[in-house]
Amino acid sequence: MTPEQTLPAPSRAAALSELMFPSTPRCLALAAEYRIAELLAEGPMAVADLAARAYVEPGPLHKVLALLTEDGVFEETEPGVFANTPLSELLQADIPGSMHAMARMVGSPWLWDSWGALDHSLATGRPAFRKVHGTALWPWLQEHPDEARMFNRAMTDFTEALSDALVAAYPEFATMSAVCDLGGGEGTFLATILDTYPSLGRGVLADLPPVIEQARKHPQVMPLVEQGRFDFAAADFFSQVPVGIEAYVTKQVMHSWPDAALVRLLRRCRETSPGARFVAAEMVHHDGVARFVKNFDLVMLATMSGQVRDERQFADLFDQAGYRLSRIVPTGTAFSLIEAVPHGL
């Protein structure tokens, strides 16, 4: 039994009531949107002065910061005076390890509306997002460029926070001549692979044309393009993938799609580059998995037709497409590297 389960009834009720408020993610999003962490980078500040510089009302801002202080995000150094903590510092934009865009995204109306229709997903197994918005997430993002930019920025920030650990866990990249990142967003994961392993000849970023245009401007990508080591393939990877590749790589892609779509993608890769391996950076469900993974699995249920899969489910997917799951490589993060090789190799 957990400690909460052994509490007296009134205390159990209080513990349960603490879980009933959706306030923390929304307050995080507001703190990021109004750049509170940037304002506090100069040092502790009275809430009245902070509100004036953020162009918000001091009373409501105090309530938001007081709640986030309970979660260790900010610190109230004296009554009405707030300061950054190591957590809130990550709400600053354009710093190493920034979670600014991710915090803003979790407060986005499109995601909150999806959570509000989670009952639809529970009853049907289908994404709540489609019920609310009348279409799937990916085509909706193509029609809403501002939200798409925020989504891609959030994915990039999340990638940059994990990329070094993921890339270091797979030294086999050093022996390859060509790697393709499928659905790699702004290209930072692929750029980290190329930067970490100079012997790797070239990388190809495959994503939709609007995403490729964002990637071309990313400061981590541009030097590699000038060196001739970073190429682009603007296309729907379900229809076309680059040829002449030794390893197709994905990060946070497989959990976004249903089995049938992934088998189609894997078969496309198998036919295009028959000897290439497939390396996917994904969370893997298992007994005792972290709460973060369970939360992420619910996000997939609410917004997309994907899921966080276990080892057996990954093995089945690869087998249907002509691959064999060869190993799962831990990375010291919530993500593992799932390696598959063509049958017969």
Q: Provide DSSP, 54-68.
A: HTS-HHHHHHHHHHH
What pLDDT does 4 receive? 59
Q: Cite the DSSP H helix spans in 71-174.
A: 100-106, 109-116, 118-124, 128-133, 137-143, 145-168
Please give the pLDDT value at position 290: 85
Whether 120 is a known active-site residue: answer: no
DSSP letter (8 states) at residue 256: G
Q: What is the pLDDT of residues 177-230, one digit of tens each?
A: 999 999 998 899 999 999 999 999 999 999 999 899 989 999 999 999 999 999
Residue (of 340, 332, 299, 343) closest to 121 by Cα position: 299
Q: Which of 120, 133, 255, 285 is catalytic?
A: 255
The confidence score (pLDDT) of residue 132 equals: 96
Which three-class secondary structure state does DSSP give residue 289?
coil
The helix or strand, by DSSP H or E, that contains position 271, with its residue range, turns out to be helix 259-272
Q: Phi and psi dihedrals of 278, rounded to 5?
A: -125, 130
The angle, 0 to 180 degrees and rounded to 10, between the axes of the packed helices 47-54 and 58-70 is 110
Three-state DSSP state, 310 = strand
> Which runs of E-coded beta strand occur in the chain?
45-46, 74-78, 81-84, 178-182, 202-207, 230-234, 247-251, 277-282, 323-330, 336-342
Token pair of 152 as six digits: 């891609």
Q: Which two tokens stand for residue 270?
A: 């198998």
- Can you give the pTM of this predicted structure? 0.82
- pLDDT < 70 stretches in the chain: 1-9
Q: How many CB atoms lie within 10 A of CB 43?
A: 9
User: Residue 126 has what pLDDT?
Assistant: 92
Structure letter (DSSP) for residue 92: S
Domains and CATH numbers, the chain: 3-95 (1.10.10.10), 154-342 (3.40.50.150)
Please tell me the predicted confidence (pLDDT) of residue 17. Answer: 86
